[in-house]
Every structure is written in structure tokens, then in C-alpha cells.
């Protein structure tokens, strides 16, 4: 047997239904805010991440899947998607269209981390980027969209941890900084806690304009009812952030409790050779989001796509069963057809195994009268209904 690669995993049904529903709600919600989808390659030049995420970051330093191609190019499986989006923005001169670009993405990311629960080497992120506007109202609207999305999934009681990172330093200082005492703030090592307590708080180091940006962000957040708390020690593991940074954590995920992170990156586009255009975005860890999703959402996702098991009782019923299946599907009913004609016993057993809730038995004594049997598998209750009333019965969800 050949097993999957360590740190990667197969997503199987019915779990894939939860992922699909999360993704379609993400698309729906982001579209309501004027965001369009972007898809960038999984493979990028290694230099892209060195220049954006930062050479001293953990990601670039030790977590990238990098290799040299047969043609001699140094490439990397993307560890995150913001750099790729910014690269595409510059490469396709998207700034020249004159519009602020609001883009979202869904897709796999790769980091060579030590696998544990909630931490994978291949994982999925859902993210959005607003490139162009610099004003704090944009930061606020992005957070409003994020909470709209999380609320549609049924999350309650989540809070954004918010901070603003120091920006007044020049490029040399920033390079020195990235070599990087700030990383210490990100440690989970209790031995360093004392040291961190003595470190200066970000907000105390801010220049006037950044402080104003921070304060002007809070008003709209209050107005929109977005729950936040200022977390002066919050820093993020990627170098491109300026000013606003944020994170949302969910309980019940153990040590890996961050479901998403984001922030403003006002220098990223110009650092990648583009115009001086600011931006802000977030990345949700989809695997963790699904793991933390409320039970009611997970159940709804699994049940929403439940197919009715349609069982042809005898081989003589096959053609009729195929026709009935098509008819039901045209009416929007999902049908899992068992055309084998093995009789009710084996047909029902395998329908039960597949988790079907309702079965329709076609053939037997009922054949001559144009009737079918609708059966609820859990309770074994059943009813014989005329074919003409079948659709109604199925839509009611009861025999």
C-alpha cells in the first residue's frame, strides 16, 4: 500500500460536503461586497516569497517546499497566497485599470511544518485582498465582510484581536528589524514570557499618522458591531504587514487555535516592483474553520446533499428506474440509483450503509398499479404512494 505523504490528507465524503458549503458561502458573501475571484499558480519563483514574506520569517527560513526545476529555476510551492496575488497585480498592471482591486482566492498552500492536529503541510486557505484603498474604512469593511461570512457559517462569540504594527522605520531599519527581535513576541515559550512583558507596546511606538489610522478604524468597527479587542502584543509571522494586523482564534482547536489572520501591507506591491499602492487582506485557514464550525452547520452541510436511494427491485425494473431517476433529478431531487435489481434486502442494506435517509423501492407488487414504496430507513416506516405523488413526498422528506 502506498500511503499519503506525511502532513497531507485526503478529504473524504461527507467531510467534503462541509468544505464545499463553506466555499460556496465564501463565494456568495465575497461577491456581495464586490470581490472577484483570482486564481494564481501553486508554483511561484522562490524569490517572490523571500522578497515579500521575508527572508527571516519562519515560513521562508524553514517551511518552504522549494526546488530547482530541470530548467534551473528556483521555485516554491506557495506557502501563502497574498504574495502571488500582489505579483499578479503588478504583472498584469491591474492598478492601471483605475479601480481598487478587490480579489478573493480559495486554494491549497504548502508549508513544511511539524504536522499535528490542525496543522498540515498541505492546507487550504480562503482569503481576500483589497488592493488600492488606504483608508481605515476599507480595513473596517474587510472585517465586516469577514464577520458576515463567519456569521453565515453560524459562528458566535468570535472576537478579532487587533493591533497595529510599527511603520515609522525606514527600509534599513525594517530590514534590521526583520532579523528580528519582534519575532520573540510571537513565542509560545513560557520561559520568554517575562522578557516579552517588558517589551515596548506597539501602540506606544506609533507615528502620528499610523495612530490616527488605528483610531479611525475603531469607529466604523464599533458602528458595525464587530467585536474586537486590542492586543498590543499581536504580531504576525509575515514581514509584509504594516499598520493594521488582526487574528481570530476559536476555542476547541487546541494549540492551533488561530482560524485566520490578516493585515495591511502598504509596501508589498511597490516592493514587488509595482506602483505605490497599499493593500489589506486576510487568510482563513479552511481546515481549521471546518474543524471549528458549529455542529448545526456541519449537519446541515451533510444533510443538504443527501440523495434519495432509488432501488430497482428486479432487473425488469431497470429501465423504468433510470427514467424515474432522470425525472426526479430534473425536479432537483438528488438520486442515488441502485439499478442492480437484487431485490429489496441487499438494496436497502447498501443504501443504509451509504447513509441515505429515504429509499424509493420500484417494482414488485406495486409495479402494475403505478405505485412505489417510500421508506424511511431509520424508522423502517413506509408508505405506498402513486408515482404522481412521489415528488411531493420526497420534498416533504417523509414517507
CB of 262 to ligand AMP, least distance (A): 7
Show the 3-state SS of the chain: CCCCCCCCCCCCCCHHHHHHHHHHHHHHHHHHCCCEECCCCCEEEHHHHHHHHHCCCHHHHHCCEEEECCCCCEEEECCCCHHHHHHHHHHCCHHHHCCCEEEEEEEEEECCCCCECCECCEEEEEEEEEECCCCHHHHHHHHHHHHHHHHHCCCCCCCEEEEEECCCCCHHHHHHHCCCHHHHHHCCCHHHHHHHHCCCCHHHHCCHHHHHHHHHHHHHHHHHCCCEEECCCCCCCCCCCEEEEEEEECCCCCCCCEEEEEEECCCHHHHCCCCCCCEEEEEEEHHHHHHHCCHHHHHHHHHHCCCEEEEECEHHHHHHHHHHHHHHHHCCCCEEEECCCECHHHHHHHHHHCCCCEEEEECHHHHHHCEEEEEECCCCCEEEEEHHHHHHHHHHCCC
CB of 260 to ligand AMP, least distance (A): 5
Q: Which residue is listed with cell 487568510?
A: 283
When the beta carbons of 283 and 325 are compared against ligand AMP, the nearer one is: 283
CB of 236 to ligand AMP, least distance (A): 6
When the beta carbons of 87 and 111 are compared against ligand AMP, the nearer one is: 111
CB of 167 to ligand AMP, least distance (A): 19
CB of 127 to ligand AMP, least distance (A): 8
Footprint on this chain of ligand AMP (rule: CB under 6 A): 80, 111, 113, 119-120, 123, 125, 236-237, 258-261, 283, 285, 287-288
CB of 261 to ligand AMP, least distance (A): 4
The rounded distance, in Å, linking the Cα atoms of 388 and 356 is 22
When the beta carbons of 107 and 341 are compared against ligand AMP, the nearer one is: 107
CB of 375 to ligand AMP, least distance (A): 42
Find the residue with minimal CB distance to ligand AMP: 285
Beta-carbon contacts of residue 191 (< 8 Å; ≥ 6 apart): none
When the beta carbons of 64 and 360 are compared against ligand AMP, the nearer one is: 64
CB of 137 to ligand AMP, least distance (A): 23
When the beta carbons of 123 and 297 are compared against ligand AMP, the nearer one is: 123
When the beta carbons of 262 and 347 are compared against ligand AMP, the nearer one is: 262
CB of 132 to ligand AMP, least distance (A): 21
When the beta carbons of 271 and 314 are compared against ligand AMP, the nearer one is: 271
When the beta carbons of 101 and 111 are compared against ligand AMP, the nearer one is: 111
Q: What angle do CA 54, 171, 73 make, to 5 degrees?
A: 35
When the beta carbons of 89 and 123 are compared against ligand AMP, the nearer one is: 123
Amino acid at each position: 500500500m502506498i500511503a499519503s505523504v506525511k502532513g497531507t490528507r485526503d478529504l473524504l465524503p461527507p467531510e467534503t460536503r462541509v468544505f464545499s458549503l463553506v466555499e460556496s458561502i465564501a463565494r456568495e458573501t465575497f461577491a456581495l461586497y464586490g470581490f472577484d475571484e483570482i486564481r494564481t499558480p501553486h508554483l511561484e519563483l522562490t524569490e517572490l516569497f523571500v522578497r515579500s514574506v521575508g527572508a527571516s520569517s519562519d515560513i521562508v527560513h524553514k517551511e518552504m517546499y522549494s526546488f530547482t526545476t530541470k530548467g534551473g529555476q528556483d521555485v516554491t510551492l506557495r506557502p501563502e497566497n497574498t504574495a502571488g496575488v500582489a505579483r499578479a497585480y503588478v504583472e498584469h498592471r491591474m492598478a492601471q485599470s483605475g479601480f481598487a482591486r478587490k480579489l478573493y482566492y480559495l486554494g491549497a498552500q504548502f508549508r513544511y511544518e511539524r504536522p499535528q492536529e490542525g496543522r498540515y503541510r498541505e492546507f487550504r486557505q480562503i482569503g481576500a485582498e483589497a488592493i488600492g484603498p488606504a483608508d481605515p474604512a476599507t480595513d473596517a469593511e474587510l472585517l465586516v465582510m469577514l464577520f458576515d461570512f463567519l456569521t453565515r457559517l453560524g459562528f458566535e462569540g468570535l472576537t478579532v484581536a487587533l493591533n497595529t504594527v510599527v511603520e515609522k522605520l525606514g527600509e534599513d531599519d525594517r530590514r534590521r528589524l526583520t532579523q528580528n527581535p519582534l519575532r520573540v513576541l510571537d513565542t509560545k515559550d513560557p520561559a520568554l514570557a517575562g522578557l516579552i512583558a517588558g517589551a515596548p507596546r506597539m501602540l506606544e511606538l506609533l507615528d502620528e499618522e499610523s495612530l490616527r489610522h488605528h483610531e479611525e478604524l475603531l469607529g466604523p468597527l464599533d458602528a458595525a458591531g464587530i467585536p474586537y479587542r486590542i492586543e498590543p502584543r499581536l504580531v504576525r509571522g509575515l514581514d509584509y504587514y504594516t499598520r493594521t494586523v488582526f487574528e481570530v482564534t476559536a476555542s476547541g482547536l487546541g494549540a492551533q487555535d488561530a482560524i485566520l489572520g490578516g493585515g495591511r501591507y502598504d509596501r508589498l506591491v511597490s516592493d514587488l516592483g509595482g506602483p505605490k499602492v497599499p493593500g489589506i487582506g486576510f487568510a482563513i485557514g479552511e481546515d481549521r474553520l471546518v474543524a471549528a464550525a458549529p455542529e448545526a452547520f456541519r449537519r446541515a452541510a451533510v444533510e443538504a446533499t443527501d440523495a434519495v436511494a432509488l432501488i430497482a427491485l428486479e432487473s425488469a425494473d431497470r429501465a423504468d428506474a433510470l427514467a424515474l431517476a432522470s425525472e426526479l433529478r430534473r425536479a432537483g431531487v438528488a438520486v442515488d440509483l441502485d439499478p442492480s435489481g437484487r431485490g429489496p434486502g441487499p438494496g436497502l442494506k447498501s443504501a443504509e450503509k451509504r447513509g441515505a435517509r429515504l429509499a424509493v423501492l420500484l417494482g414488485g407488487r406495486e409495479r402494475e398499479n403505478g405505485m412505489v414504496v417510500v421508506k424511511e430507513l431509520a424508522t423502517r416506516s413506509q408508505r405506498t404512494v402513486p408515482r404522481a405523488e412521489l415528488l411531493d413526498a420526497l420534498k416533504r422528506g417523509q414517507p
